[in-house]
Amino acid sequence: MKLDGQEESANVEDRRGIGMKGGAAALGGGSLIVVLLVSLLLHKDPAQVAQVINGGGAGGAGGGQTQAVDPAEEPAAKFTKVILRDTEVVWGERFRAMGRTYQDPTLVLFSGQVESACGQADAAVGPFYCPGDSRVYIDLGFYQDMQRQLNAPGDFARAYVVAHEVGHHVQRLLGYSRRADDLRARAGGDKAAANRASVRLELQADYLAGVWAHYGEQKFHFLEKGDLETALNAAHQIGDDRLQKQARGRVVPDSFTHGTSAQRARWFRQGFDTGDVDAAAQLFDLPYERL
């Protein structure tokens, strides 16, 4: 990606190096990867990650002490701030075209664990968006995990991750998150039906990430040869079917929460090819089997 000279977002809270007291509580919002699968793939402690999901304490988490920020992370921090600014510009223009006002989210950079309006979260959950405080949370170490454990290297792959989480923010502003909540409520105790609502939401966030890339390329001309392929590869690598096969040796479609590798790559590509914000509605309008 060609990002030289581009402006960084000012909507950033840098909490790296700040430890926390207490344990990890249940996480809300749209994490990029199924938490327990990531714990297996990235050699994290599954028990600790399960505590994050279930709201149990994880013991001491730094005791509130401040630690030095790794200077080697600064290029990744700058990169993430620039991508966030690009999303602010693109979505600000798209919302104005719809006669609406875009409300910028805030980026939170953290190390290890972080507290959000959705509860306390461990870095093992991956980047996530919390609708309760309109913040995108990311531990920059995740970029290394993408390259080393998920086989998803490349700057545009990283940009896709940020744009996906910003896509969850766009969904909330456009009312799609509420549609997903309504579907989950109607599902009652049907876990598979509730999961299908989550798949719709996650695939739509992939689509919206593609829409951002469509207009971002038109405005900033940041793509270089091979960049698009790195994002499509990242989407493929984090499909539920692929992750489950790697972690468990088998695939359980009813437990999907993010969509298959083919679905994730296809919807990102469709958003990129069309740039049609209104067409995001089809992720909720289409029959599930046609996604």
Residue 217 has pLDDT above 50, yes or no: yes
Residue 181 has pLDDT above 80, yes or no: yes
Residue 116 has pLDDT above 70, yes or no: yes
Q: What is the pLDDT of residue 123?
A: 87
pLDDT tens-digit readout, 250-271: 999 999 999 999 999 999 999 9
CA 11, CA 107: separation in Å to the nearest integer?
6
**74 touches 161 (CB < 8 A):** no
Q: What is the pLDDT of residue 20?
A: 55
Of 31-35, 145-149, 222-226, the least confident: 31-35
**74 touches 27 (CB < 8 A):** no
Residue 139 has pLDDT above 90, yes or no: yes
**Alpha helix (H) residue ranges in the chain:** 35-41, 46-54, 74-97, 141-148, 155-174, 176-187, 191-220, 227-237, 240-248, 261-274, 282-285
Q: What is the pLDDT of residue 48?
A: 44
C-alpha separations of 42 from 7, 58, 121, 201, 274 in Å:
33, 18, 16, 25, 35
Q: What is the mean pLDDT of residues 176-187?
A: 96
Domain ranges across the chain: 12-290
Closest CA to 179 of 104, 28, 53, 280: 280
Q: What is the pLDDT of residue 157?
A: 98
Of 87-91, 124-128, 195-199, 287-291, the least confident: 124-128
**232 touches 265 (CB < 8 A):** yes
Residue 54 has pLDDT above 70, yes or no: no
CB-based burial label for 264 (10 Å; 0-12, 13-18, 19+): buried
Q: What is the pLDDT of residue 124?
A: 86
